[in-house]
Amino acid sequence: MNRSADIHFNSDGVPVSNHFDDIYFSVDSGIDESEYVFLQQNGLPDAFKSLPSHYEFVVTETGFGTGLNFLLCWQAFIEHAPRDCRLVFVSFEKFPLSREQLEQAYEALPSLRALCEQLLAVYPAGDEGCHRLLLADGRVTLDLWVGDIEQQLPHFVTQAQGQVDRWFLDGFAPTKNPQMWQSFLFSAMAATAHQGTRYATFTAAGVVKRGLQGAGFTVAKVKGFGRKRDMLCGAFEATDAPQKAALKTEPVAIIGGGIAAACLSLALQRRGVNVTVTSRGVTDAASGNPQGAVYPLLHAEKTPLSQFYLHAFSTAVSAYLPWREQHWFPTGVLQPAFNEQRQQRFEKVAAGLYDPQTVSLQPAGDTAAGLEIGTTALHYARAGWLRPATMVKELFNKADINVDISDRPQVDMQQKTVIAAGHCSGDIVAALSGQKLSINPVRGQITQVEATDATASLKQVLCYKGYMVPADNGLHCIGATFNRGDDSSDIRADDDSENLASLKDCAQQPWANDLTIISQRASVRATTPNHQPMIGRVQDNLYVFSGLGSRGLTAAPLLAEILAAQLSGGLQPLATDALERLQPR
Ligand SMILES: Cc1cc2nc3c(=O)[nH]c(=O)nc-3n(C[C@H](O)[C@H](O)[C@H](O)COP(=O)(O)OP(=O)(O)OC[C@H]3O[C@@H](n4cnc5c(N)ncnc54)[C@H](O)[C@@H]3O)c2cc1C
Ligand SMILES: C[S@@+](CC[C@H](N)C(=O)[O-])C[C@H]1O[C@@H](n2cnc3c(N)ncnc32)[C@H](O)[C@@H]1O
């Protein structure tokens, strides 16, 4: 479903909602108004200056719109908060602006250009649910919950009890948008507030005032911005209000040297947790391929797995952004419909189930691939390919981790330990706890071939039964075989033949013939019966991060955020049922 915003731009370049007949920000003083109403009347940025060590400051907003409030809050946080604190800005949006609409809106905000560009680079498509975006080197996190706030808020409330520091009550005026200003909102505010939580809103409507008072908030009417007479602000003063819990920063040991361990190390390091990592090697297993595809797995029906990967993909795009054009190449991914059955399925996928900015149908004859592919194809415009082997090392470096090399790591069960050992995780967990997890090995081999004059012009990743990645230093990675139950990493000539035959059969193009093999690499995936990754607590102090299957490069950054939140406290960026499906079993 495409539910992007129905807006026009007025003669001052300010976006106006046709649906609500209201403007997104004030024409001549949008920034000043937002700073006055949402920051100043919420005690910001003053409160940022005196945050305790490693504090996760949570702001929740109703109505993301252009993100102006977010951009200003981000700017103030970076300027005033201690270096080791993080801002988690949560916002709900039913009608997300498209990237093009945002770009146009930002023309009216030249002083915020640098932040606007960073946000645009990771801005997700408008698919429903929580998109966690990592910005400003991980100091600022945006959890953008797409969908009607009344439906999305309950998912957030279960994760956020006692955690929200500030509420920004935006959304259009209660007279124009009464649906948003109802008791569900005020109860959610109370359920997520702690002692000292504050809020501010531009409106002084009686319905809002009464709702806030009824939920346990004080209500002060203060002078509104500019010509506006008054607005409301206040604090949570319920007698049984909880204290906000500090993040737990006791040390965590991780076993593993792949993308899971690397992403988790960085996520924990950003939360002030001291991490040690021990592994048989670094990028010695599945995460050591020279190239890999990063794109969401989308079914022709809305499935929990597709939902998970939509959100994981958003986080991955933001997590890898600092390495764009170094080790992360968002070239786009094409899935050609090489047969009739696929053609029908792909038409369903592109028929409105997902935002067209996530996936669309590219007609046969389109030249965007750079190579003749001869059929229609699904096009994932924001997807691309990664150099996993170098990315893992970059992530460990960024987290300041030196991996201890050992294949018999000592595990101290007095300390929190995460087993992120790919397909070996099940055996390690069983040895430590006696618990048997359903993690199954699936062997795979990739084949590197020399780029030819024809294939060198491939611009996007081609994904069919296997995949072919644009040439990197004259070599294409062609993947990958898939042998269930096989956990060996020996090199097999038959597997190279299978990879090349699969490309040839699917492509049916002259450029796919007679490719010269240069090298190959075999390793083992870790899969689970429900195809979902597996993360979380197995028993006291023992956690697992495995089951990343064939999509670990897309899934790992979001999973690391979730597991880091489970280990240290803080907000988990996923609906409760989605978290439940990731539980170790
Ligand atoms: C051929 C192939 C192609 C793939 N292509 C893609 C792709 O294009 N896109 C994509 O997203 N995904 C792809 N995948 C999947 C992806 O590679 C994995 O999901 C991901 O790398 C898993 O990362 P990990 O960190 O969980 O495990 P791994 O990378 O397997 O790391 C496990 C680590 O644990 C360590 N370890 C294991 N046992 C022990 C022990 N007893 N003691 C100490 N250390 C131990 C290992 O040494 C290793 O460092 C592919 C996988 C294969 C096999
Ligand atoms: C005034 S705009 C918000 C401005 C925004 N905070 C900014 O900084 O640009 C109000 C937003 O609330 C969104 N909205 C309205 N009703 C909603 C609902 N029921 N659920 C979620 N979002 C809603 C609108 O689509 C719009 O983007």
| Dihedral angle of Cα 158, 159, 161, 167, to the nearest 10 degrees | -100
User: Ligand 1 mean position to 128 CA, how many Å?
Assistant: 29
Domain range 247-332+386-439+529-585, its CATH number among 3.40.50.20, 3.40.1030.10, 3.30.300.30, 3.50.50.60: 3.50.50.60
Closest ligand (CA of 533): 1
Beta strands in 101-187 (DSSP E): 129-135, 140-146, 164-169
pLDDT digits (tens, 9 = 90+) for 326-344: 999 999 999 999 889 999 9
Q: What are phi and psi of 390, to 5 degrees?
A: -80, -35
Ligand 2 and 497: CB distance under 6 A? no
Q: What is the pLDDT averaged over residues 520-524?
A: 98
Query: Looking at the whole model, is its pTM more than 0.95?
Result: yes
Q: 297: how many CB neighbours lie within 10 A of its CB?
A: 18
Tokens of 156: 């957030």
Sheet bearing 22-23, strands edge to edge: 7-9, 15-17, 22-23
Cα distance between residue 492 and residue 483, in whole Å: 12
The CATH code of domain 7-235 reads: 3.40.50.150
Ligand 2 and 65: CB distance under 6 A? yes
With a pLDDT cut of 90, the percent of the chain lying above it is 92
pLDDT digits (tens, 9 = 90+) for 5-44: 899 999 888 899 998 988 898 867 899 999 999 999 999 9
Q: What are phi and psi of 218, to 5 degrees?
A: -75, 155
Q: In the CATH scheme, what architecture does the domain 333-381+440-527 have?
A: 2-Layer Sandwich (3.30)
Residue 3 — very low, low, confident or very high, per pLDDT cuts 50/70/90? low
- The domain segmentation of the chain, as residue ranges, is 7-235, 247-332+386-439+529-585, 333-381+440-527
What pLDDT is stored for residue 227 in this prediction?
87
Q: What is the pLDDT averaged over residues 173-193?
A: 96
Residues touching ligand 1 (Cβ under 6 Å) are 255-261, 279-281, 284-287, 289, 292-294, 407, 409, 420-422, 424, 428, 444-446, 467, 479-480, 523, 525, 546, 548-554
Cα distance between residue 463 and residue 398, in whole Å: 31
User: What average pLDDT does the structure give for the chain?
Assistant: 96
